[in-house]
Structure 1
Amino acid sequence: MTAAGFSVATPEAALDALFVPFTGGDLSLPADGRVLFLRARAGVRLRELARPGWLCEQSFLPFADELARCGLRVGEPAEGETFPLVLLLPPRQRDEARALFARALDLLAPGGTLVASMAKAEGAKSGEADLKQLAGSVASLSKHHCRVFWATPQPDAIDRALQDAWRALDAPRETADGWWSRPGLFAWDRVDRASALLAAHFPVDLGGRVADLGAGYGYLATQLIEHCPGITALDLYEAEARALEPARRNVVNALRAAGRDFPVSVHGHDVTRGLPQCYDTIVSNPPFHLGRADLPELGRAFIASAAAALTAQGRLLIVANRHLPYEALLTARFADVRQLAMQDGFKVIEARGVRA
């Protein structure tokens, strides 16, 4: 954790490959200097090439903060604004990626070029095929174990019906289990087993002001509302902006179903920066990886922020993969640490009594 939030690694290979068509002469940067970079990530090549007219869009707060610390302009396009060049790092989840291709074409000026880069192991072949299906002719090349592909579509070459259908894939939707969610969120179309295990071990006396850290689409919060009558206020914290609307819908539905009425707020916030107020109880299924790599430091950052925000007799309830080394930090920050459950490769831990 740093003063500006948790530092995470950039996918340098995909980012480097994205700019190969420009350095190799296949493509040129626009003369007016206006470039939109969707799902932008900070990196050496981006810092070298970016100009003041570039706009970086990133919905995940730690990544957005990293871009801003590099001096890049971060935000969203204005209503009706289009760009002669749109860069894109598509996500692995296919519905999410397809919706992003459709939106990228909405933001592309007539005669403009859309360029995307994906690791071969992360669905590059499917991504290239999808863009070709949507926009017509596509050029591509391979570099750094990635595939970079681009299109300069004529307006009549774009499959508008398909674009409409794919654009709608990003809208919040109800899953088969009745939760509001959207593709690409963590465990977006199911109840995560670790979260379900944690919810099953919520103490009956859990109450007061409660926070859910890394709330996702709000599953744990709905279980708190349903099963913990002592709660007087509930705050959900989530760093991925795309999760906020589904979370709001789920907690509203949970309050209505439970016949309860107390303050519930959903905050777009990077938990690793700390929390803005104190709590009697904090619950969390903290993230422990980005991409395919374990990153236990991220979970430890959640624990540190929770310890700093709990009242003196407050308690923390977390669930984690059994191999993650959280116990030493928990013991250092809390007087009483005990394991409530060990099941299916996960452990539920309760920590009480914050050490001064």
Structure 2
Amino acid sequence: MDPRSEVLLRQAELFQGPVMLAGLPADDLLGTLPKARGWSWHAGEQAALDARFPGRCDFGTTAPESEFIAAVLFLPKSRELTDYLLAALAARLPAGELFLVGEKRGGIERAAKQLAAFGKPRKLDSARHCQLWRVSIEQPPAAPDLESLAQRYRLELADGPLEVISLPGVFSHGRLDRGTALLLQQLDGLPGGHMLDFGCGAGVLGAVLKRRYPQSRLTMLDVDAFAAASSRLTLAANGLEADVMTADGIHGAPEGLSAIVSNPPFHQGVHTDYQASEDLLHEAVAHLQRGGELRLVANSFLKYPPLIERYLGPCRTLAEGDGFRIYSARHS
């Protein structure tokens, strides 16, 4: 059981009715609270919860339509996303109870101050390096408009400007990260066909790929529903079309790809996690056609070339700078 769930269950009498568990971990919490429902935006956790508790967890960027008299938000990493999620839940809880649970090192004490917009927050419990906070909704807000919270910026590229739209919680929210900036300079010479932007985030790489290789089919994949929504907005803002999907890693991607291009994710909440990136290196060969290419950016300190060569083939370093390297390998 996740430590945050364990702290919640120390106050289990508060959660016996219809309660919405937002951002819940994929543990047995729904089994312990039979009247509760979940709301997830992480495709992997959603799949695990749906397998164990069919029909009891909704996936997406907006609060589910089901009725609830209380809600618990499991603290996400992003302050902006926390603001949106708290408002989305509070808007559905006039005179109801809103709870916030999270790890101390994840900033729960700071985040608890965000509850003050709806009433007077009170700390209920502290255990397992986590805290549980509660507020009675005295000032329910209007339901927030997610798109109005987007940050927009323009990239001046050689083939023209690109409009990028980033939603709260998406990687490198409102700015171009250094790794993607380096990879954008190394997108020439990819084999045409069916391309994949793996870990698409706000859709920068995918949009540039579609514009540069207009005859190629493009799929954009991310584990996060807010990232997928951002990519759709970025595509639309630039008059581009692609297939955008959510899945928990490369195993959910199409097969027969001509190219996989990625700034692969390696962070999950407050914990560092390289599993998605390592799975990409291990399984890329199963998704690439013969002659298909994997091209990615990674921090220079990560020992990816030996893994690429073990699972795919000879690895070339195409560029290096600002603490990052661009690697390329083809399925022979």
Cα distance in structure 1, aligned partners of 2:208 and 2:247 = 21
Cα distance in structure 1, aligned partners of 2:230 and 2:84 = 17
Q: 2:265 aligns with which of 287, 296, 299?
A: 287
- Structure 2 regions of 5+ residues with no counterpart? 155-162
TM-fit CA distance, 1:265: 1.6
- What is the TM-score when the length of structure 1 is the normalising length? 0.81
> Residues 82-116 of structure 1: CA distance to partner in whole angstroms, max 9, x if unpaired?
312212112132221111111112333x5532221
Cα distance in structure 1, aligned partners of 2:104 and 2:190 = 50
Letter paired with 1:343: G
Cα distance in structure 2, aligned partners of 1:88 and 1:307 = 39
Cα distance in structure 2, aligned partners of 1:78 and 1:124 = 24
Q: 1:167 aligns with which of 116, 138, 144?
A: 144
Letter paired with 2:261: V
Which residue in 2 is equivalent to 1:311?
Answer: 289
> Residues 190-222 of structure 1: CA distance to partner in whole angstroms, max 9, x if unpaired?
111111111111124542221111111101012
Cα distance in structure 2, aligned partners of 1:320 and 1:330 = 12
> Residues 294-327 of structure 1: CA distance to partner in whole angstroms, max 9, x if unpaired?
3233211122332211111111101111222322
TM-fit CA distance, 1:150: 0.8
> Residues 150-203 of structure 1: CA distance to partner in whole angstroms, max 9, x if unpaired?
1233xxx21x4xx33x83466452424341111111111111111111111112
TM-fit CA distance, 1:139: 4.4
TM-fit CA distance, 1:344: 1.7
- Structure 1 regions of 5+ residues with no counterpart? 1-9, 257-262
Flag the 1:15–1:171 CA change in 2: closer, same or farther, 3 A.
Answer: farther
Letter paired with 2:217: A
Aligned length: 320
Cα distance in structure 1, aligned partners of 2:98 and 2:122 = 10
Which residue in 2 is equivalent to 1:67?
Answer: 49
Cα distance in structure 1, aligned partners of 2:52 and 2:256 = 32
**Contact in 2 for aligned 1:212/1:284 (Cα 8 Å):** yes
Which residue in 2 is equivalent to 1:209?
Answer: 194
Bigger Cα displacement from structure 2, 199-208 vs 185-194: 199-208
Q: 1:197 aligns with which of 182, 186, 192?
A: 182
Flag the 1:37–1:93 CA change in 2: closer, same or farther, 3 A.
Answer: same
Bigger Cα displacement from structure 2, 116-125 vs 166-175: 166-175
Cα distance in structure 1, aligned partners of 2:115 and 2:252 = 40
Q: 2:234 aligns with which of 247, 250, 263?
A: 250
TM-fit CA distance, 1:231: 4.4
CA RMSD of aligned residues (A): 2.5
TM-fit CA distance, 1:336: 2.8
- 1:105-120 equivalences under 5 Å are 105-108=90-93, 111-120=95-104
Which residue in 2 is equivalent to 1:18?
Answer: 8
- Matched residue of 2:57: which SS? coil
Identity of aligned residues (%): 25
Letter paired with 2:41: S
